[in-house]
Amino acid sequence: MVKMKEELKHAIVKSGKFLWNILPLLVATMLLLSLVNTLVPASFYSKIFSSNPFLDSFVGGLIGSISAGNPMVSYIFGGELLEQGVSLIAVTAFIVSWVTVGTIQFPAEAMLLGKRFAVVRNILSFVFSMITAAVTVFIVNIIGRL
């Protein structure tokens, strides 16, 4: 039992030091995310989407990947985009990639988890954001017909 307490104490100290060392990087990433989200107005997005579902999901995923944000804000932002006439497939790809793809956070992720892991994770997240968008729209259309 004493050994377990010592290991737990060591793990907590080690985790605390790690968090302290990456804190400046985390704060810088959050500030950069806030800056990008502030500089790019919502009206910009409604101008660049077409009515092509494949192109819209790609563009939505691409812009979402670059913009990056948190899940709570993404739902509000997605609703605003839908009200501006942006297609559901574009908004879904945008939201999913906005939350999962970390272009802005990539340097921090590569440093902490490894460059190869960060590249593979971001590419897969981008591809799956488009797949998720297509499946979501398909299901919504089926439910809408019932």
pLDDT > 90? residue 129: yes
Q: Rounded to an integer, what distance in angstroms lies between the CA atom of residue 108 and that of residue 63? A: 20
Which has the closest alpha carbon to 66: 28, 114, 106, 26?
Answer: 106
pTM here is 0.68
pLDDT, greater one: 100 or 42: 100
Which has the closest alpha carbon to 59: 44, 71, 77?
Answer: 44
* For residues 50-74, average pLDDT: 82
Q: How confident is the model at residue 27 (pLDDT cuts 50, 70, 90)?
A: confident
Predicted confidence at residue 69, as pLDDT, reads 67
* For residues 115-121, average pLDDT: 94
